[in-house]
Amino acid sequence: MRSIRLLHTGDVHLGAKFSFLGERGREHRRQLLNTFSAVVDMARAQQVDYFLVCGDLFDSNRPTRATLEEAVGLLERLGASGTEVLLVPGTHDRLGPGCVYDDGIWEGLDHLHVFREEGWSEVSFPADRIVFHGWGYGGEHEGDVLAELRLGEAKPGTRRVALLHGTVLDRGSPAEDEVGFLRSTLEASGLDYLALGHWHSFRDLSTGEVGCAYCGSPEALYPGQESGKVVMVTLHPQGREIKPIGIGKRSFQRLEIDLQAVADEGALRRLIRERADVDRYLEVVLKGVCAWELPPDPRVLEEEMSRLFLGIRLRDESVPATQGPSPRTTRGLVTGEFVRIAKEEAEGAEGERRRLCDEALRLGLAYLEGRKAD
C-alpha cells in the first residue's frame, strides 16, 4: 500500500464582494481567484493524488460567468495533470434548484467529482484502495450527520476519507443553517481522515485513529479570522501527516494601542505607519486614557492612512484626559512639567533622536504614574 497525498482546501468564497474594502474590494475579489490559482499550482507542482474542496468554493450560487469559467478551468487543468478533484457544496453554494453545480459547465469533466446528491454519497478509486464520502449540503439537517455515515463493505486496508462542510459540536444541535457532528462520533467513525470546511481558520481536530482538520480559507476574507492556509495530508501505510501550508497573500490584523503609553498624535501616527502594508487590513483599537488634550478623530486618521493599507479601521475606546484634570496637563505638577518639557524636546527632533524622545516620554510617564513600561 502506497502513501496517498491529499490537498485539502475549501471556503474560497470566489466572487465575494468585500464592500467594506471600498475601492479595493474589487481587487481583493480578484485576489481570491489568484490565490485559488496558486493553490491549484501547488497541487500540480507537488503532484498530489487528490484535491479536496470542502464547500463554499463560491461565495454564492450566482458567481459571474467569468469567475465560474476561470474556477472550472483551473480544476480542469488539475484533472488533466492526473489529480482527482472531489468537491462538496457548502452553505453559500448549496444544492438546490438552479444552483451553481447544476450549470452545464461541470458536465463531461474527467477527474472531477461533485457530490451533487443531498446527504452522503461516495466515490471510490479501487486502484488506490480509497473511498471518498461527501456530504451534499442542501440545507440544515437535524442530528449528528457523521452518525448517518455508512462505510459499508470494502476490501481490508481500504482507506476512508470524508468531505463535510459543517460544525464540530461539543453538545446539542447545530446552529441554524448548519450541519454538525460530535467529537465522539468522529472518534468512532472508522474514517482515516475527515476533511472539514465551514470555519475559515485552520484547525486540527484529529483524535486518536481519525485525522480531521478544518483547512480554513486560503486567502484572508474578514477581520477576526485567521485564514490563508491549505492542508497537505499524507496517508501513510501506517499513520498520517497533516500539514498546514501558508498560501494567502493578505492578512487581517488587529492592533490595540494604549494611548496612555503614546506621547502624542504624531507618535500614534508613527506607530500605525510602522505596520503599513498594502496587503494588510488593520483594525486599530485605541484604549486607555488619552494623554493629550483630545483623542484623535478616527475618520481623519483612517483617511490619511488608507493608501498605506489594504484597509484600515480605527475604533476609539479611549477616555479623553480632558474629562478630568489630568496631572499630565497640569502645570506645576511634576508629571505635567515632565510632559511639557519632553514634548518640547521631541518637537523638531527627527529620526533616531525623535524616537529616543518618544521613548523617554513613554518610560518617564510610566515611572511617574507607577505603571509597568511594556
| Min CB(198)–Mn ion separation in Å | 6
Stretch that binds Mn ion, among 4-12, 126-134, 287-295, 315-323 (CB under 5 A): 4-12
Identify any residues that bridge with 164 across adjacent strands, giving them in sequence order: 196
Calpha distance 8→121 (Å, rounded) = 19
Segment near Mn ion (CB under 5 A); pick from 45-53, 54-62, 325-333, 349-357:
54-62
Cβ closest to Mn ion, residue 90 vs residue 211: 90
- Minimal distance, residue 215 CB to Mn ion, in Å: 11
Stretch that binds Mn ion, among 11-19, 58-66, 121-129, 351-359 (CB under 5 A): 11-19
Minimum gap (Å) between residue 29 Cβ and Mn ion? 15
CB 7 within 8 A of CB 51: yes
Nearest residue (CB) to Mn ion, 56 versus 265: 56
Q: Which amino acid, 277?
A: D
Decide whether 32 or 357 has the Cβ nearer to Mn ion.
32
Least CB distance from residue 199 to Mn ion, whole Å? 8
Instruction: Find the part of the chain contacting Mn ion (CB under 5 A) among 7-15, 241-249, 317-325, 360-368.
Output: 7-15
Size of site (CB under 5 A) for Mn ion: 2
Q: State whether the Cα torsion 245-249-254-259 is positive or negative.
A: positive
Percent composition of the chain: helix, strand, coil (DSSP 3-state, to 5): 30, 30, 40
Distance (Å, rounded) from C-alpha 287 to C-alpha 261?
10
Residue 107 neighbours by CB under 8 Å, 6+ apart: none
C-beta closer to Mn ion: residue 11 or 144: 11
- In the complex with Mn ion, the residue whose CB is nearer, 211 or 218, is 218
Position 56 contacts Mn ion (CB under 5 A): yes
Given 11, 59, 219, 264, the residue binding Mn ion (CB under 5 A): 11
Nearest approach, Cβ of residue 251 and Mn ion (Å)? 18
Residue number with CB closer to Mn ion (229 or 328): 229
- From CA 171, how far away is CA 165, in angstroms rounded? 18
Q: Which is nearer to Mn ion, 100 or 263 (CB)?
A: 100
CB-CB contact of 249 with 219 (8 Å): yes
Contact 72, 63 (CB under 8 A): no
CA–CA separation, 277 vs 303, rounded Å? 15
Q: Which stretch binds Mn ion (CB under 5 A): 5-13, 69-77, 188-196, 365-373?
A: 5-13
Which one-letter amino acid corresponds to residue 16?
Answer: A
Minimum CB distance to Mn ion, residue 90 (Å): 6
Cβ at position 247, least distance to Mn ion in Å? 17
Chain centroid offset of residue 10 CA: 11
Cα 4 to Cα 278: distance, rounded to the nearest angstrom: 38
Q: Which stretch binds Mn ion (CB under 5 A): 55-63, 103-111, 149-157, 229-237?
A: 55-63
- Burial class from Cβ neighbours inside 10 Å (0-12, 13-18, 19+) for residue 226 reads middle
Could you list the residues that contact Mn ion (CB under 5 A)? 11, 56
